[in-house]
């Protein structure tokens, strides 16, 4: 089994990467392979609603054939599960991540039909719930198997505390160790 960890932050090795790396370690402990895919910090073209991917180019994907879109589609084809990681900017995930996921959802959402999926959002203050809901709704359009998590902290995110230069969240890894085997069974 292989899980695609999508780093939706414009910062390649920032807090979202740190959270996803912890997730990757937890998955590896449970014999689940993973790969972190960074969307980058360049301009990302969004869906324009032309419907070419459904009509003219049916089965061929989006009419905009940029390298990021093509690479992510290939990674999605190889994966059995998806975890989206995103920072919270102004009470939502970055626009570049949403633009890319909107295009993929509309043109190639079938690639994750009934596969397990989850989200991790990283914030310093408020906005985690709104960002989480936005990503969760995208996953619903993908028709992924969605696994809600209920804990004492918002399941949406990673609580950030800087201590000796290390970002820590003790609940995240324990949470994933509990939920991922359930996802794999279903």
| Phi/psi at 7 (5° precision) | -90, 105
Q: Can you read off the two tokens belonging to residue 165? A: 């230069």
Mean pLDDT of 6-26: 91
Answer with the residue of higher pLDDT: 173 or 50. 50
Q: Who's near 129: CB < 8 A, 6+ residues apart?
A: 154, 156
**Rounded distance between C-alpha atoms, residue 142 and residue 136, angstroms:** 10
Q: Is the pLDDT confidence value at 115 over 90?
A: no
- Using pLDDT thresholds of 50, 70 and 90, give the confidence band for residue 146: low
Mean pLDDT of 111-133: 82
Bridge partner list, 122: 87, 158
**Rounded distance between C-alpha atoms, residue 47 and residue 106, angstroms:** 8
| Phi/psi at 47 (5° precision) | -70, 135
Q: Provide the pLDDT for residue 56.
A: 65
State how many domains the chain has: 1
Answer with the residue of higher pLDDT: 130 or 99. 99
Mean pLDDT of 81-103: 90
Q: Provide the pLDDT for residue 136.
A: 82
CATH of the domain at 105: 3.40.50.360
Q: Provide the pLDDT for residue 119.
A: 85
Convert 96-141 into a string of H (helix), E (strand) and C (coil).
HHHHHHHHHHHHHHHHHCCCEEEEEEEECCCCHHHHHHHHHHHHHH
Boundaries of domain holding 55: 2-185
- Report pTM: 0.79
**Rounded distance between C-alpha atoms, residue 121 and residue 134, angstroms:** 11
**Rounded distance between C-alpha atoms, residue 96 and residue 74, angstroms:** 19
């Amino acid at each position: 089994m292989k899980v695609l960890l999508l780093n939706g932050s414009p910062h390649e090795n920032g807090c979202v990467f740190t959270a996803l790396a912890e997730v990757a370690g937890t998955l590896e402990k449970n014999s689940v392979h993973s790969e972190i895919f960074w969307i980058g910090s360049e301009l990302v073209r969004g869906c324009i609603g032309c419907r070419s991917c459904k009509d003219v180019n049916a089965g061929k994907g989006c009419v905009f054939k940029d390298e990021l879109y093509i690479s992510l589609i290939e990674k999605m084809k190889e994966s059995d599960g998806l975890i989206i990681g995103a920072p919270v900017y102004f009470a939502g995930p970055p626009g570049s991540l949403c633009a890319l996921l909107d295009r993929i959802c509309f043109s190639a959402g079938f690639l994750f039909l009934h596969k397990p999926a989850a989200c991790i959002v990283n914030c310093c203050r408020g906005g985690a719930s709104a960002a989480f809901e936005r990503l969760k709704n995208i996953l619903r359009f993908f028709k992924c198997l969605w696994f809600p998590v209920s804990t004492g902290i918002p399941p949406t995110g990673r609580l950030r505390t800087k201590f000796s230069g290390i970002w820590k969240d003790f609940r995240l890894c324990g949470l994933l160790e509990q939920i991922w085997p359930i996802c794999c069974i279903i």
